Amino acid sequence: MRWDGQRVDRGGEPALPGIPGLVRSVRAPEFADTVFHEVLAKSVLNRLPDGAPMPFRWTVNPYRGCTHACSYCLHGDTPVLMADGTVKPISRLVVGDRIYGTERRGSYRHYVPTEVLAHWSTVKPAYRVTLADGTALIASGDHRFLTERGWKHVTGDMVGGNRRPHLTTGNKLMGTGRFALPPKDTADYRRGYLAGVARGDGGPAALDQAAARVVEYLDSELGVSLPVPWPRTPTDEWRKGLLAGVFDADGTYANRIVRLPNLGARALGAVTEALTAFGFRHAIELRRAPDGKACVRVDGGLAEHLRLFHTIDPAVTAKRAIDGAAIKSDVDLKVVSVAPLGLELPLYDITTGTGDFIANGVVSHNCFARESHSYLDFDAGADFDRQIVVKVNAAEVLARQVKARSWRREHVAMGTNTDPYQRAEGRYRLMPGIIAALADSGTPFSILTKGTVLGRDLPLLADVDVPVSLAVSIALLDRDLQRTLEPGTPSPKARLDLVRRITDAGLPCGVMVAPVLPGITDSAERLDALLAEIAAAGATGVTMIPLRLPRGAREWYLAWLGRERPDLVAAYRDLYRGGATASAHYRSALAERFAPLARAHGLDRGMPRSQAVPPVEGPRQLTLL
């Protein structure tokens, strides 16, 4: 079910009653367990009540309700195929990493390099998917893999609200099959590598990567002299090193064929013995060449070639590229079982330029819009995590409202209620029209966000002729703490990178340091480290807000505190004895601690008053900022 086929002007599921202006409700596979209620709004320019404690009077909110955590996730140890042919656990990927995705060309998908645009984690019930070749994948029930019959979720139902395409026994996944384990960096591996490079019957290792590895190994106090001695009884690690050295020195990978040429009699015997030991099918290609040298061809197609590269780990990554290879494989990737593990685990996901990636040898879907995250401060509670109201005509209605004679072009603040760059903005693309409407009418505006999809609109924002200010919320640097506290939000690094992108575009960008958590993130050392990173990113100023615990957030946060920091529960009850706000004494002490640090980093100018927003009452205030 394609999202574009469900646009409000193209039919789709019938509208559900109960929401004013509702045209229809959409449940799309890209957003598991989330329903988007598309409405035709009569007005999107909202005036705050008189006396509201805000430094602005007008807001625009194209979305009502937000999602916090993505369900499309894999276990952190899952290896992902990098664009240089190596692998890296998904938990260790960072924004900007180059990896392999796929694209359709004619009847087949082909492997193509792509980029990691976002990376995050959450905690979800975990399932183990076992394939016939022994591949095991741990993922959430909502994760999707590419099968011979299209994308399918790990779990689902045949009927009812959770009806969706899902894996069943016998489904065949697409890909190369599980990745081989890399060699261990042992003395035997290093000796084997040096023997393969400097074997005396091939060409010199002229490539920089191989030469650098040779220098490193020779400097590692192995006691190796040239010529390199060969063992009488080679170990597996020596064999792996030998094959890596031979490949780096003279090997080629062209036209989907791996060849190890220029082999003299001794090297030929050692290479074929090593390939046989690891079960690689191969053939000897005798060529008319000086000194009677031979070439070994490794057979088996892409799956075996990747297994070879991962098993031996050659240094010259440029010769391991699989760009353009079709996703065809004889590996038995039939689903044997899908079993719940019976526990919740930290799971990870990424956003890529192609919308997919290669996870332990199978093509895996990612959450295409997860480069943006959002926060929630609706009184309606958890329903707004999964029930999202989308004002699909927001740009048109706003353009009409700001052209009215009664409009005084007062400042409009966005992101003070719900994040305008939340998940669905990647599909609905409402913000470009909203920005254009405000700019064309001469209305100044500001945006507060934590969604990196804002980067999409930076060229548009840089060209507007009205005052515009942007702010990003960053509460802490500790990635482990952030994963447990806000498992569905962008990493601190991703938010700092967003600040850099904004300032590089010539736009001012403030940072909301909020919420500051008593006893956890409020020490002078932690605040100083955070402000140093914010200053390095080019922020124009900061505003600090201590944690507030209104009803709803209080119960949720104290439950988290009891699990993670039970030693602080009593102190919190004392600090928040008077209600949602920490005691006046604590707030005063925190301000006195924060102010000189901000001055020291040149961030004491604060944010524009229009963005210095006090937290709004809501059930999940902790995850707002």
Give residue-wise pLDDT tens across range 491-547: 889 889 999 999 999 999 999 998 899 999 999 999 999 999 999 999 999 999 899
pLDDT at 53: 55
Cβ–Cβ contacts within 10 Å for residue 216, how many?
Answer: 11
Residue position matching structure tokens 């000897």 = 284
**Alpha-carbon gap, residue 407 to 48, rounded angstroms:** 15
The DSSP-derived string for 164-227 is: --B--TT-BB-BS-PPPPPPP--HHHHHHHHHHHT-SSS----SHHHHHHHHHHHTS-----SS
pLDDT at 183: 93
Q: What CATH number was assigned to the domain covering residues 41-69+372-623?
A: 3.80.30.30
Tokens of 560: 């988290």
**Buried b vs exposed e over 61-96: b needs ≥16 C-beta within 10 Å?**
bbbbbbbbbbbbbbbbebbbbbbbbbbbebbebebe
Residues lower than pLDDT 70 in the chain: 1-20, 28-33, 51-54, 65-73, 121-123, 159-162, 199-212, 215-216, 218-228, 287-291, 367-387, 423, 486-489, 550-553, 555-556, 605-625
Prior bond to 79 cis, omega within 30?
A: no
Q: Are 247 and 262 in contact (CB under 8 A)?
A: no
Cβ–Cβ contacts within 10 Å for residue 592, how many?
Answer: 9
Closest by CA to 88, choosing from 359, 323, 488, 302, is 359
Give residue-wise pLDDT tens across range 551-561: 546 766 877 78
**Alpha-carbon gap, residue 481 to 299, rounded angstroms:** 47
**Alpha-carbon gap, residue 61 to 99, rounded angstroms:** 36
Three-state secondary structure call for residue 242: helix
**Alpha-carbon gap, residue 360 to 371, rounded angstroms:** 23
pLDDT at 622: 24
**Alpha-carbon gap, residue 436 to 249, rounded angstroms:** 58
Q: What percent of the chain has pLDDT over 70?
A: 79
Class of domain 74-175+327-365: mainly beta
pTM for the model stands at: 0.51
User: In the β-sheet with 252-254, what is the strand arrangement from edge to edge?
Assistant: 252-254, 257-263, 294-298, 282-286
Q: Which CATH architecture has domain 187-320?
A: Roll (3.10)
Domain boundaries, the chain: 41-69+372-623, 74-175+327-365, 187-320
Mean pLDDT over each residue of the chain, to the nearest integer: 81
Q: Cα 121–65–353 angle (5° rounding)?
A: 45
| Dihedrals phi, psi of 455, to nearest 5 degrees | -55, -30
